[in-house]
Amino acid sequence: INGVFWAAFLLFSWTAASIVSGAVIERVRSFSFWLLAILVGSVTWMIDAAWGWHPDGWMIIELGYHDAYASGVIHAIAGGSALAYLRLLGPRIGKFAADGTARDLRPHNPWLVCIGLFFIYTGFWGFYAACNVPIIDVQLGDEVFFSATNIYGTPTTLSAITVNFILSLAGGLLAGYVVSRGNGFWTYSGGLAGIIAASAGNDLYHPIQALLIAGAGTWFMYVVHYWVERTFKIDDAVGAVAVHGYAGFFGVVIAGFVLWGYPASAAYDAVITPWGQFIGAIIMFWVLGYFPAMVLGLICKACGILRIPRAIELAGLDIGERQTHYDIEDEIRATEEELARAGGI
């Protein structure tokens, strides 16, 4: 089981760093992002996992913190880190009009966005299962039965978390569709946000609780995303701060109220508390997420290695490596235009 957890935690390190990448694409220098990936994936994420994702972590023992499937431990910390870099990077060229109105820069290939999000749903279920100790014998008087336990060693069942996972996905999809008025990107992103919003307590929620919390968390992240965009001119390219950061923060806080009094750890008498969850959300998003990334970003900016030059941003980051490909595309486009004109189109 230690080998499984080692591989899972390595994957989580990659995940924490990769979440940040989507928010800052099209304008961040690769070297600066690599430094941030090391900070998030190998330093701050490891600290918050030790503090809040282990039965002996001080946040569990002292605060009653509970975050079974990492609404805060992975998602909020990544969202906070991405927000810090976005504040320093500034928006992409053309994102905001002269009067400050935000333009909707649509994805180049919405079909791949859809497929990618469905891959994430599938992978997230594997992530859920990997966050449990598969089999442990539970003693209840003279009876002994086998069950799964969460990462804190307290009982749950794989069937319960499967149902809660599906219903939180459904709740997020429904809320994303409604709040965005049918926008495809936010509908599918809402599914992911719903899973993340319910992840802190999906080992213990009733399925209807998982559905409703996912829907509420999706609504919350959508509203906050556009408020932050308008107010602070933050250009979050793929909504990563919203889907992971805001929904993750919401999920940690709401679990404190819904699960108040449930056991936080099998090794201690700690119980889940609303104040512990709120303090934990602050620690995850701001203390270990936003502020360390802000310090690193300020250093990179002072050294002139944070943002790519304007000319390269306009040309495209990959054009230097794929110049032949683009030349061929230009030739094909010119041929198409010539044939269209010849046909009177």
Sequence-ordered strand ranges (E) for 39-197: 133-140, 143-149, 155-156
Q: How far apart are CA 27 and CA 281, in angstroms?
A: 29
Q: For residue 4, give the DSSP letter.
A: H
Quote the pLDDT of residue 132.
Answer: 84
Q: How far apart are CA 240 and CA 116, in angstroms?
A: 14
Quote the pLDDT of residue 212.
Answer: 98
Quote the pLDDT of residue 323.
Answer: 58
Mark the ranges of the chain whose per-residue pLDDT is less than 70.
1, 134-140, 144-146, 319-327
Short-list 62, 61, 76, 74, CA closest to 153: 61
* Cβ-Cβ contacts under 8 Å for 109 (sequence gap 6 or more): none
Quote the pLDDT of residue 311.
Answer: 85
Quote the pLDDT of residue 305.
Answer: 96
Could you report the per-residue pLDDT of 86-123, keeping only the tens digit for each?
999 999 999 999 899 999 988 888 899 999 999 999 99
